[in-house]
Copies of this chain bind each other. A is one copy, B any other.
Amino acid sequence: MKELEELILEKGKVLDGNILKVDSFLNQQIDISMMKKMGIEFANHFRDKNIDRILTVESSGIAPAVFAAEELNCKCVFARKQKSLTLDDNIFHSTVYSFTKQVMKEIIVSKDYLKENENVLLIDDFLANGQACKGMIALCNQAGANVSGIGIVIEKSFQDGRKLLKEEGYDVFSLAKIKEFKDGKVIFEED
């Protein structure tokens, strides 16, 4: 998605440890106009998959997910990283290893909002090692829901996530694919 790549080049900051800071439009400040366009891109790619529900993880996945859900006219739910007071024991949960934080984190979703045989589209802000997606897939498996696709805003193609998910047969669609960080600059995959 050309416009997203341009925004990343303009606003993104490459930090140590292969971290791309895109707080200015995705991870803290939210560029509504860009989110809306991203939602349309996701919807166009997955429209023929009869998506019943989008599943994302709080917090940065929420804005892209809601606009994709608006376009696909489907349900939308976010998994929580911490158990909230109003979540009872009626939950699916899985653990996600965070390479950047080097801790195992639990993600949780109520059994009421992920159902057997639903076609679920996973949406997340970043794909690196694929751990968050693996966690969401585990939630869907527990529910007996079908993972019908995976929509990613920014993929770090030099890490293992895509390979791992493709090997398991998932349709992974990323709006921007980063080939490498070179001298502090973002280099995208050629289309």
Copies of this chain present in the complex amount to 2
- Tell me if A69 and B23 are in contact (CB < 8 A): no
| Size of interface on A: residues with Cβ below 8 Å to B | 36
- In Å, the complex CA distance between A32 and B35 comes to 14
A35 CB, nearest partner CB in chain B, Å: 7
Question: A59 touches which one: B36, B70, B78 (CB < 8 A)?
Answer: B78
**A24 on the interface (CB 8 Å rule)?**
yes
A114 CB, nearest partner CB in chain B, Å: 9
- In Å, the complex CA distance between A109 and B27 comes to 11
**A185 on the interface (CB 8 Å rule)?**
no
Answer whether A77 and B113 are a contact pair too, CB < 8 Å, given A62-B59, A62-B62, A86-B21. Answer: no
A67 CB, nearest partner CB in chain B, Å: 8
Chain A residues near B (Cβ < 8 Å): 15, 19, 21, 23-24, 27-30, 32, 35-36, 58-59, 62-63, 65-67, 69-70, 75-78, 80, 84-87, 100-101, 109-110, 112-113
